[in-house]
Amino acid sequence: MWQIKDGRRGGHLTPLGWMLVLVKVTKILQEAESWQESIRSCKNQTLDLISLPSEALQKQTCQNLRGNDAKQVWIGTRRSSLTGDWYWLDESDFNDTNWAGSEPGDVSEGQCAVMSLEGDGDCGWKDRNCCEDARPLCYAIL
């Protein structure tokens, strides 16, 4: 017997008693570029700029990227020019955040966000000018 599980991105069919586990596979691209260019570069590889809507996913991603040579990577969140609120590109709820101390700053300090991979920290986020260069953190769901 099968049941429909509805999610934000549509339903999927699973056998009763089974759970479908979605795995995000990440890739840091080599070329540092603007936030907008990063979205295109991810799409060119059939990937998306990563959204990290849950604390568990944020921690898992941070652990997986330890020891990488990138210092900062673009993530798929942006501040609305109309409201000043932050949102994820994949339209996930923006509740669990991992802003570094004193971040985010005001609108003049940045509309986009990077995740810091420096040191042994917790991969805190910092708001940045979207035109600055950083390497994109892309993902696909398997």
pLDDT digits (tens, 9 = 90+) for 8-55: 444 444 455 554 455 678 899 999 999 999 999 999 999 999 999 999
Q: In the chain, what is the straight-line distance between the N-terminal and C-terminal CA atoms, in Å? A: 24
104 cis-preceded (ω within 30 degrees of 0) = yes
How far CA 127 is from CA of 3, 6, 26, 74, 75, in Å, comes to: 42, 33, 21, 10, 10
DSSP type of residue 14: E
> Cα separation of 89 and 139, whole Å?
12
Q: Which whole number is the average pLDDT over 58-64? A: 90
How much is the pTM?
0.82
Domains of the chain: 24-141 (3.10.100.10)
* pLDDT at 18 (0 to 100): 56
